[in-house]
Structures are given as C-alpha cells and as structure tokens.
Amino acid sequence: MAEKITESALKSLSSPESFSRGYELYQSDAVFDTFRQGAFLTGKCEGSSAPFYQLSVQLDEGGIQEASCTCPYDWGGYCKHIIALMLTYIHHPDAFIEQKNIKELLGQLDKNALVCLIAKMVDKNPDLYSWLQAAVPNTSAKPQPAQSRRKRKTEVSKTEYKRQIQSILHSLRGYRMSEAYWMVGGMVDQLDRVRDTAYEFLESGDAQGALVILTTLLTEVSGSFEQFDDSDGALGGFFGELALPLVEAILSADLSKAERRSLFKELEPVIEELSAYGIDGLDVILAAVNRGWSDEASNELEDYDFDDTILIEAKLNILERQNRVEEYLKLCLEAGEYRRYILKQIKMEEFEKAVDVAWKTLTQANDALMVAKALRDTGRLPDALRLAEKGLELDGSKHDLGVWLGPIEETQGQIDQAIQSYQAAFTSLPSLELYSTLKKLSDVNWDNLRSALMHTLQDSHHANVLADVYLFEEEWDQAIGVADKAGEWNYSLIEKVADVVLPFRPDWVIQASRKQAEGLIARTQSKYYAIAAGWLAKMKQAYLSSGRKAEWLSYLDGLKSTYSRRPALQAELRKL
C-alpha cells in the first residue's frame, strides 16, 4: 500500500508548516519503534514537550483513514509527527516491523489457552466483563427476560441542586451590571455543567433524576433572569439548549396523570414569563408534559403550538438509547430523518439498504459527508466515494466534503475528481492552502482554473485570502491594491502585506505604516503608543532597506519635537 500514499497527498492533508517540520523530523530520524499490522501503522516520534509521542495510522485504499498522535497539536491538518511517520513509511516501508494481526495471533491458541488469556485480561480490566457478556451469544434453551434497570435507592435531591444553582447565579453579586456583563458567559458555562450532569442521569436510565435537575435549572435560572444583562444572548441560548434534554427526561420518566398535571402547573408560568422576555421555543416542554408519546393532547391541560422538531429528536434519542431499533427506524422514516436512518442501517451492517436510501433521500452535502465517512469506517470505500462525489452536487457548503474527498481521490490517482473536490471546497470557503493544492494538481489547465478561483475571491468577504494568494504568487502591486481597498481599519491585513512586500515596495510600506502610526498617536491615549511604535519600526526598516536612513532620522526627530510633552510616547520613540 506504500505506493498509494504520496508526498503530494500528505501536503494536501497538512499545513505547509506541519509538512515542512515533519519532513525535518523524518530526515533527522526522529521516528522510531515502527510496526505494521496489515494496514495499521504505529510508531513513536521524538517530541519537544515529551520524550516521544505515540503515533498510530489506519490506512485503506483511500489513503489515511484515521490517524492519532499524543501531541497537543490541534490547528488543522495532520501534525508534523504524523507526517514524519508517513514519510518514513513512504520512503522506507521495510523499517516497519510486520506484526501478526489479532486473529492470526490468537488463532494459534487452543480453547483452554484462549479462555485463560481472556480471564487474565478481565482480571486486569473488570469492565471487559460487561462487554464480553453482551458480545457472547446466549445459548440457554430458555430465553431470559430483559432485566429492568435497577431503581435508585437514593433520590436526587432537588434542595441540593437548587442550592448549587443559586450559588452559581449569586457568583456575580457585588459586581456592577457593566462588569457582570462580561462574566455572564462564564456563569453560563457552570450552568451548562449542571445540565450535562442531567444528561449523565439520562444516559444511565434515571429519567426521574434528570427531570429533578433540569426542572430545577429551568425554574431557578428563569427566576433570576432579569438580574443579568443578556445582550449577547448567552443566557437565552442556555434556555434554548435546555429544551431538548428536558423533553427527553419528561418522555422517559414514568409520570402518572397527577404528576403530569403538577409538573405542567409548575412549568407553565415559568415558560410564559420567559416568552415575555423574548425567549421562545420552550412550548415544546409543555407539549411533552401534555402529550407524552401520544400525538393527542390531553383535554385536562391547555395545549400549546410548538415546533415538533425537538419533540421528534427527543423521541429518536430515547428510542436509540433504549435500543428500540424497529421503532427508531420507523420514526426516522416517518419524520424524514433520513440521515439518522441511514447511519443506523450502516451500524447494523445493512449496507445495501443504507446506500439505497442515501441515494434517494439525501439533499445536503454535509449529510452525504457523514454517511460517506461511516461507510468508509466499515470498509465500504467504493460506496463512500460514489456517495461523496454525488454530495458535491447537493445543497449546502461543500467545504468539509471537498477537503475530505480530495485527498482520497488524489491517493487513488483520480486527479480530475480531486481537483473537482478541492475546487468545491474552495468555492464554499476559500483558503490559500486549497489554492496552492489546486495549483499543484492542475498542471497545464492551471490558467483556466486560476481564473475561476480568482473570480470566487473577488468577493469582498475574502479580501484576506485574496491578499494571501497575491503574496503567494509574488504579485506585490495586486496585494497592495487589496490592502488599500480594505481601508486603514483592516490593520491586520495591511500589516501582513507590509511584512511581505517590504523588500520590494518600501515606499508603500512607509506610507501605510506612517498612516497607521500617526492615526494611533492622534488618539492621545498612551495604551496605543506601543502599537504605534511597532508601525514606526516597520517604517524604519523600509527606509533603511532603501538606503534612506537620513530621511528616517529626520522624520523621527520631527515626531520627538512635535510630541515632546507626551512622556509615554517619548519613551517608545527612544527605543527606535
């Protein structure tokens, strides 16, 4: 499989910096302890913040299916250590010691030896027992009834959670509202963690415990809502995200009619008050209390209009959690939740059904991507590729789909399809990395393709990428034109262009830097002086690079004289 992975494909899967540094690691023999089990590679690479990092890569006919590294890198594309491992594999595949796969390794053991080995593994990791119990078929003559989940002996304390939530809400007391405004986000993060605890109760089958936590959250936070400045909507968003788990808890709990009436009376005034504050979408909670799993509303309680999207999602989550497969699949089809239906069929290894429904129903590129990934993970790469290629014709952003599909097509030698994928990704979300990848692949057709890419970039929203491309192509005047058009407020763009074109267009750098520096000085606030000095330093460098030291010194003396009564500014100027 080594011939399937190329340096070109690795460049497409990593940033230029990661590839360059990975190449340096490869050349310095930083990769060691390399092994291979079929298409699964492992190894170690010397690290900067650890003695070494542990690496693993799963390959398939599409290239790198999955890769992991224990380093902290998380900035897009594969890290330099993965690149170093793969370069080692490309150029020195014999350096990887072949190991038997697990079937070959265990296949040589007889039954008694295998049982002893598994028993030792369970002794060291008792959690394996539950997995084995579920995996081993039950050969008993009489089918055993499913055991109901154990009822908690200790009830969740509403008083304790009320105290905890109030403590969070009171954490901003003592601050002025203008100060507390900046802290609301942190407070919401703490409330989110309480909500996540309720999810844990739901996942463990304790809907009653989850219901206690979530209703307490809703009532306590709503009672304090008017105390906070929620201009950025953080607290309002919290209520919106509370709806789904609360509906799940209500539908999962075995509530009597009396309990439903009581809960309805408790929540109705809370939700109506929040609606008066402009927080909508919570009526579905009351509908869940009123209707339960039925589509019919109870005559005893007032019915509310609601968006049934959350109600359907909640029901599907519950059915999936409870492994009620037939009901889950039926509701998916009835509700038009085709992506969930398809993914479930793939999980059940009903691939033909999954692919057939996918081709007939998917309309969004991102849904096609999710299904294609699931198919690839189960070894159905040809089906995944065909569906992903179809996804390029569907609605929605094609960026993620194109970035995923492009390297696979490239690895398989399907260059035209790779270009189509990368171009779709570029059209949805342009970047210099995609531009350079397309240039690398296009060969003789580059002029026509570049024209189409530049047309996409003419959109003013992509000024930064347009400047990046001009700088990459060393078209200095065009890059300057983009910076000038963006306006002096876009200082980060101006700075990026100035840093690159300084040796080639020093006059423009002097002009642009002077405008930025003098604008900051004119604000007469000392906090801007260090930034202004940074622009002046750029200006100095441009003067010196063009042999005009005298002009720089004259300008600097003029500044010192003009602003002689600004000691903070004078301190910065003396550093130049």
Q: Are 220 and 163 in contact (CB under 8 A)?
A: no
**Where is 263: in which H helix or E strand?**
helix 257-276
Parallel/antiparallel/unpaired status of strands 40-46 and 31-37: antiparallel
CATH of span 2-95:
3.10.110
Give residue 143's pLDDT. Answer: 40
Give Cβ neighbours of residue 503 (< 8 Å, ≥ 6 apart).
545
Q: Are 96 and 78 in contact (CB under 8 A)?
A: no
Dmax (CA) for the chain in angstroms is: 100
Helix (H, G, I), strand (E, B) or coil at 350: coil
Give residue 250's pLDDT. Answer: 95
Report DSSP state, residue 364: B
Give residue 308's pLDDT. Answer: 87
Q: Are 130 and 156 in contact (CB under 8 A)?
A: no
Give residue 357's pLDDT. Answer: 97
Helix (H, G, I), strand (E, B) or coil at 366: helix
> Using CA atoms, how far apart are residues 399 and 77, in angstroms rounded to an integer?
14
Residue 52 β-bridge partners: 46
> Using CA atoms, how far apart are residues 21 and 572, in angstroms rounded to an integer?
36
Query: Please, what are the averages of pLDDT over each run of 10 residues along the chain (576 residues)?
Result: 74 91 96 94 93 95 93 90 96 92 83 89 86 65 44 74 93 84 91 94 93 95 90 91 95 90 93 91 91 71 74 95 95 96 96 96 97 96 97 97 95 94 96 94 91 89 94 97 91 96 97 95 92 96 96 95 93 93
Q: How far apart are the first and last CA of the chain?
A: 58
Q: Are 428 and 33 in contact (CB under 8 A)?
A: no
> Using CA atoms, how far apart are residues 489 and 495, in angstroms rounded to an integer?
11
Q: Are 56 and 42 in contact (CB under 8 A)?
A: yes
Helix (H, G, I), strand (E, B) or coil at 8: helix
Positive/negative CA dihedral, 476, 482, 485, 490: negative
> Using CA atoms, how far apart are residues 384 and 406, in angstroms rounded to an integer?
13
**DSSP state letters, 490-504:** -HHHHHHHHHHHTTT
Residue 461 β-bridge partners: none
> Using CA atoms, how far apart are residues 498 and 477, in angstroms rounded to an integer?
11
Nearest to 285 by CA among 267, 312, 297: 267
**DSSP state letters, 389-413:** HHHTTSBS--HHHHHHHHHHHHHTT
Angle at 59 between CA 57 and CA 60, to 5 degrees: 160
Give Cβ neighbours of residue 494 (< 8 Å, ≥ 6 apart).
483, 486, 488, 512, 516
